[in-house]
Structure 1
Amino acid sequence: MVNAGFENKSAQKISTKSGEWLIHSNFTTAEKGIIDAEVSFKLISGSETESAVAVELNFDNWSKENFVLMPATAYNGNRYESRKIPYSPKLNDYRDIGPDKPMIISDVPRLNIHEGPSFIQERSGGMTLPCVGFHSPTEKTGALVITKQQNAWGDLGINIEETRNLSSQMGRISIISPLVRERYKYEIANNSVASPDVPANFKPGDEVKFTFRIRMFDAPNIQSLFDQYFIARHDLAPPSTPNLLYSFSECYKTIEHKFNTQNFVPEWGYYAIGMRENFLQDWQIGWTGGMISTYPLLFSKDTTTLKNVTANFNWLFPNGISPSGFFWDSGEKGNRWYGGDIRKPQFKNLHLVRKSGDALYYIIKQLELMKLRKLQINPQWEQGTMGVANAFVRLWNKWGQFGNFVDSSTGDVVVGGSTSGAIVPAALVLAADYFKNPQYLKVAELSAQKMYDDYVSKGITCGGPGDAMQNPDSESGYAMLESFALLYEKTRNEKWLQYSREMAAQFSTWVMSYDYEYAENCLFGKLNMKTTGTVFANTQNKHGSPGICTHSGLALLRLYRATNNPIYLQLLTEITQAIPQYMSHTTRPIAGMPAGWINERVSTTDWFEGIGEIKAGSTWAETSMLLTAVELPSIYVDAELKTCFSFDHLIAEIVKVGAKKVQLKVTNPTKFDANFKILVENKILKATSWEQNKLLNMKKYSLKAGEMKVIIIAPHL
């Protein structure tokens, strides 16, 4: 390691035992608290074998109380108790299991919660933005160090290390090239895989360049760090141009056909999660499909689809309700119901709370939709749904939390804590309206406040995925946003709007803000895949995904309507426009997958299959695409602010905003005809609550492949 003190626009020579280096540095103050930096290392004579160079930034007065953020990699530095358990990890020591145990995560990169060495070595592609940030509670300050994914030597190394001497502690953030993780790299649930990284053998003329930005700011609380990140996530990665390939209507048509021909099990009458290669791909009530998938399918005008959805409801009720009053967790073969993960003896009867929350939320949406469409509702469906809502009330009243896993026989909390039940307040808001029961709303408010106090206010959401213990995750994070947004619209209490803002900023850290530069010879390189807008799952399963697991992102539109802040729709647009390119299509097959399949993995780091590679698989991302197509308009126009956003693979431009109508130029750049909906709102309409199934009866517009039209449209009442 070569040590050199940098000065602005300085050039200095440094000699090692075998070579001489010329180091240039240039620091520019972009604005108050923001420094842009360029540093280069050039070997001018001699040689340097098995080496790497780095820029190190040292922060004095460091404390283990500092909240460290590496977006999608570490939250609070992942400074929690950890257990090394192979995938899919479940707690296996009875001393770790209980309603009031602390957070326990799997074996992921983390700072040390105890004494001893404390560092994380990550590669740039392992984060949604190559960035390290922190909040100091004692100094009331924060910082973000942002760099680029790669230079001429490939992906960069991004490290943080905590050091201590007799008098003080120091935090060190370093950017390294070429990428060298010294001993270990991370693979799924295993942080001690031998590192394959190879240092460079430098020769005269070789040069390594770094570009980075430092943001320093006042930070009275942890949320300040997330708020600053939300603003800065495109600092060195301006928004990219998406691959505009398939409209929402083309995606919906393709995936609907796939669900009817491949997922539906006619002998029992239900839509399987996937291809039924194992029980988790046969039936799960929520999380990855189940009664989430039937909701967007219920928008269809196809009689076969509607018949299948009805059959699915008849199959589920009442047999799909466990003795606890919650839904059975999973199942297979049409008549085998499971209380939990049957692969793990201690979890075979433990139900992931999130799953029943998902199902309750989307089933009530479907009951409302059935009423709108004048479809017959079996009383058993409503009775069973109300029973699940009542089970959540009992759970809250007895335990004062929803927990992470509950006993499918008794309904008691077994693994407590987490925000696994983040969607439950939203579900109870809907239940309060549908069943005319104010008790549901009361529990929704109390539970949402507790999850905010215990987790969100501390910069953490966890427990959403069933396969990642209590690692920080995006899934419960977005679900929390959905709940806060619905609570605000229902109560008009400003605190829920503030919580929504905070949660949106936290959620933004899980969304890829740049296009990863894939190697030309990998699958995604050949397909020119764009990664902006893909959503990382959690700190254990290190991949982006097409879409939110498993939602459309509607809460971001709700939040925009309440705030007029375009940052929320910019984020939503990135997410929605990323999804269609990952759908396998007859004209563009992906990894040999049939049309309509969407694999959940967008790998930009070497955690599993390989960077830019996937194995063929049908996943929940298909349901996310369906939800996006039915819950969001293709184009949203704010007539008050004279702005428009295209969530679809269409290009929209405002021509004129009149007193009563808007002229909009819409182009279909894809090779397929597009049917789409446009929502125009003014100040008065934005102030109203978003109606359930709002878009059902809106007028549809059509464009041929490659066609452009000017459309005149009035605000939608």
Structure 2
Amino acid sequence: GVHQDCYDRKRRIWGGNLGISEHDDFRNLINARCNGEVMASYISLYEILKNAGRTRAEFIELPKRVARFYIKHQFTGRQDGSFGRWWSPEGRAVNSLGTNGAYIVSFLCAIEPYMVPGDGVAQALQRATRYYGQLVDSGEYFGDTLDADSCDKEAGVTLMNMFLDLYERDGNTRWLDYARKAAEFVATWIWQYDREFPESAPLAGKDFSTTGMTSVSVAHHHLDFYGMLIAYGYLRLWEHSGEPFFKDQGRLMLDACRQLIATEDDLLGRGPDDIGWQPEQINHTDWDYFDRTSHKHGSYDIDIAWVTVLGLGAYQKIEKRYPDIFSD
């Protein structure tokens, strides 16, 4: 059930996210967050193909195998119910801190209809709700991003989405309460006003609005377009709770995250093959990932796949489930 989801084509080696290219200590490790997201995508792919008359059994058998691994290796003792964070290729837990294991909970909710009772999905989910609910109760929102071990908004986002998945699974209002608590933490990262940039800054010339953008973490002081995914979660929470705050904030992020997308008229400093790219990092302070003076106080940089994949994927989910949100 161990699944390494990153392949280096030059060196022809399999590994885990980040480490295969950036950090030797993590090169071969498996990350629970990455596994959860990848396996949920395999389930979606299987279902889409099946509905189109093309059944590919391997696309559901792989997630089932990975699910059995995490159920078998679910933590006991002090961290009972956790699905860990980093795992070795031999299936040993290397690091268990943070909220990465919550992605496995959402994955198990999705794979449950394809499993048999003896696989223990329901029991694993029951144990997991206690562990991850305790993180919400104690405000332990940290370590969800893969390149920092600090307090970050993504920890709140995954716990919000996880408890929404659980609520849509069985209708237990306790999960909705936990989702709301996590969502309220996430709200503290959403910008409610526009920051002024120096006239010479690239963002000043783009008339960029920080309203609706989200800060990343206490370690990485920039803004990003993760709000598109948060918006989908907020709209789900609004649907189930009826609280207009989450709808309003969801729309705020939805609008903000449709900024700074390269077009034919404005390639954002790149070539015609890069139409549609959107920068990962909006540097609004005296901070840059690589500490470059030229990229501080109103600059943007870094073309990386997750921005398009996460943003476009969440946008399509919003468009399908809440089509009226675009015309309100």
Task: Check whether TM > 0.5.
Answer: yes
Matches within 5 A, 1:359-374: 359-374=38-53
Determine if contact 1:352/1:406 at 8 Å carries over to the other structure.
Answer: yes
Counterparts of 2:302 and 2:183 in 1: how far apart (Å)? 32
Point out 4+ residue stretches in structure 1 off by more than 6 angstroms. none
Partner SS, residue 301 of structure 2: coil
| 2:13 counterpart residue number | 336
| 1:129 counterpart residue number | none
Residues 603/357 of structure 1: CA separation in 2 closer, same or farther (3 Å cut)? same
Cα displacement (A) at 1:397: 5.3
Partner SS, residue 582 of structure 1: coil
Counterparts of 2:248 and 2:171 in 1: how far apart (Å)? 24
Determine if contact 2:281/2:302 at 8 Å carries over to the other structure.
Answer: no
State yes or no: 1:388 paired with 2:66.
Answer: yes
Determine if contact 1:463/1:471 at 8 Å carries over to the other structure.
Answer: yes
| Count of aligned positions | 313
State yes or no: 1:507 paired with 2:183.
Answer: no
Residues 426/618 of structure 1: CA separation in 2 closer, same or farther (3 Å cut)? closer
| 2:111 counterpart residue number | 431
Counterparts of 2:190 and 2:2 in 1: how far apart (Å)? 32
- AA aligned to 1:525 is A
| 2:133 counterpart residue number | 452
Determine if contact 2:227/2:257 at 8 Å carries over to the other structure.
Answer: no
Residues 485/634 of structure 1: CA separation in 2 closer, same or farther (3 Å cut)? closer
Residues 596/446 of structure 1: CA separation in 2 closer, same or farther (3 Å cut)? same
Q: 1:450-477: CA deviations, max 9, x gaps?
A: 0221x22122222222110x21112232
Which residue of 410, 424, 442 corresponds with 2:123?
A: 442
State yes or no: 1:404 paired with 2:85.
Answer: yes
Residues 434/535 of structure 1: CA separation in 2 closer, same or farther (3 Å cut)? farther
| 2:214 counterpart residue number | 535
| 2:314 counterpart residue number | 628
Residues 331/506 of structure 1: CA separation in 2 closer, same or farther (3 Å cut)? same
Cα displacement (A) at 1:595: 0.8
Partner SS, residue 331 of structure 1: strand
Long gaps (5+) in structure 1: 1-324, 638-643, 647-651, 654-717
Q: 1:436-495: CA deviations, max 9, x gaps?
A: 547223312321320221x22122222222110x21112232111111001111111111
Cα displacement (A) at 1:634: 7.6
Counterparts of 2:50 and 2:197 in 1: how far apart (Å)? 48
Long gaps (5+) in structure 2: 289-294
Determine if contact 1:393/1:440 at 8 Å carries over to the other structure.
Answer: yes
Cα displacement (A) at 1:615: 3.2
Determine if contact 1:456/1:503 at 8 Å carries over to the other structure.
Answer: yes
Which residue of 152, 160, 175 corresponds with 1:473?
A: 152
Cα displacement (A) at 1:589: 2.2
Residues 441/572 of structure 1: CA separation in 2 closer, same or farther (3 Å cut)? farther
Residues 544/339 of structure 1: CA separation in 2 closer, same or farther (3 Å cut)? closer
Partner SS, residue 602 of structure 1: strand
Determine if contact 1:533/1:578 at 8 Å carries over to the other structure.
Answer: yes
Partner SS, residue 214 of structure 2: coil
Determine if contact 1:599/1:619 at 8 Å carries over to the other structure.
Answer: no
**CA RMSD for the aligned pairs?**
2.3
Counterparts of 2:167 and 2:125 in 1: how far apart (Å)? 12
- AA aligned to 1:336 is I
- AA aligned to 1:598 is Q
- AA aligned to 2:310 is S
Which residue of 289, 300, 307 corresponds with 1:614?
A: 300
Cα displacement (A) at 1:339: 4.2
Counterparts of 1:495 and 1:436 in 2: how far apart (Å)? 26
What percent of counterpart residues are identical?
22
Counterparts of 2:231 and 2:126 in 1: how far apart (Å)? 21
Which of these two proteins has the greater Rg computed from alpha carbons? 1
| 2:254 counterpart residue number | 576
